[in-house]
Chains A and B, each alone.
Chain A
Amino acid sequence: MPHDHPDHTHDHDHGLSPSGHPYRADNDEPLTYWQRMEIAVRELLIEKAKISPAEIAAQIEAMDARSPANGAAVVARAWSDPAFKARLLADAGAASREMGFDIGPLNLIAVENTETVHNLIVCTLCSCYPRNLLGLPPDWYKTREYRSRAVREPRAVLREFGVDLPDSTRIRVHDSTADMRYIVLPARPEGTEQMTEVELANLVTRDAMIGTGLARTP
């Protein structure tokens, strides 16, 4: 699909161009009511000198720059530095700020996976996500199916993601809110004792920090 965007109800299937390329969605589709509202809100804020166009552009650029690599760097530091790990588990926001990541005003809580406990994060109401460390959430994280099943049948959901945990492992599901976000500190894989922080970070996937995955093994 040229543009995987299930939130949109309008038709994106424009077929292929004569040269065989999918037509790319652009901002030339019929203007919607909500788009008009966005333009109006933005223009009114700018006219009233509440916000500048440069601030909006900078914010979008900062958001676009965020990726799971930020979270992976935090996890790798926690694996490498026990004092940092202790600070991360005490106050994940403050520990992340130490590394130069802007966490904003929200509370960030790191939950640690161990041999006996596996953590999974969800936002049952909408899509709250540790986006300052992971970027924007994947589409499935926002689906009604994930939001409901993560709490109702987390083991089944985890199996679908390829994480088959023994019954003896306790699963903790954390329901995020707008101002209370969670990030999973995955268990450090075996055989990584000699690895550098940068090498370790490469083992940390986005899903491992959501809890729907485990860290890669080298």
Chain B
Amino acid sequence: MEGHDFALWEKRVDALMVLCGSKGFFTVDGLRRALEDMGEDAFEKHSYYERWIAAVNQNLIEAGVYNLEELGARMEEIAARGPTYGEAQDG
């Protein structure tokens, strides 16, 4: 049986998707719509969890949990913290 050693960031995307869904921030239909709106291109260029984090983010912005400016500012701040995923964590 082949294993699949998911990276921590991928497991976190999965957890965020499930938790946000169970808290009612979006529905599976909302995620599906966001995935389908990405166009065929996204399915060629991006990996599974890359598409999922994009769909989760899209739905959270639409739900008003945070806005695009907050997201953009935070992503810039994160880039400045360090060059790797581990170093870019806050704390």
A contacts, CB < 8 Å to B: 3-5, 7-9, 25-32, 34-45, 48, 50-51, 55-56, 59-60, 63-64, 104-106, 126-127, 136, 138-140, 142, 177-179, 206
Contacts and interface: CB of A to CB of B under 8 A. Distances in A.
A45 B11 CA distance: 16
Contact of B23 (A29, A51, A178): A51
Interface of B: 1-9, 11-16, 18-23, 25, 28-29, 31-32, 35, 46-50, 53-54, 56-57, 60, 65-66, 70-71, 74-75, 78-79, 82-90
A9 B47 CA distance: 9
Contact of B11 (A26, A60, A142, A179): A60
Contacts, number: 149
Given A27-B85, A106-B28, A178-B29, 19 more contacts: A4-B4, A5-B7, A30-B83, A31-B78, A36-B75, A37-B54, A37-B71, A40-B71, A40-B78, A41-B56, A41-B71, A50-B25, A59-B15, A63-B11, A104-B22, A136-B6, A136-B14, A139-B2, A139-B4
